Amino acid sequence: MDTTINNIKDYARELRLSGLAVELEPLLEDARRQLPAYSDFALSLLHTEILCRRKAKLEWSTKTAQLPLLHDLDKYDHSFVNGIIPAQLKQLRQLLWLTSTST
């Protein structure tokens, strides 16, 4: 059985399904306990891979965005040429634009 699991992990890595390769054993254990239909098991495999990819993409995007560790809108430089005025910043901080509906 171990060789089968290792082969599946190797194939997953070769197909660049790294999330599946990492999470395979817990998924197999859950399948042994719950006895899902083949289609449900396949769905859980793909779902796991998608979640891992989304997490990796978010981590990569956050890293490449080079956001400052500390940010404070109270320290925003309003004198910047293309900056916004304090009244606009105050309005944006109220987050009213999130709840308003455009018609």
- pLDDT tens column, 90-99: 888 888 777 7
Q: Which residue has the higher pLDDT, 78 or 63?
A: 63
Token pair of 59, please?
A: 């981590």
DSSP state of 35: -
Q: Rounded CA gap, 8 and 28, in Å?
A: 11
DSSP H or E stretch at residue 80: none
Q: For residue range 15-64, what is the model confidence (pLDDT) as tens digits?
A: 999 999 999 999 999 999 999 999 999 999 999 999 999 999 999 998 89
Distances (CA, A) of 63 to 7, 22, 59, 70, 88: 33, 22, 6, 15, 29
What's the first-to-final CA gap in the chain, in angstroms?
A: 60
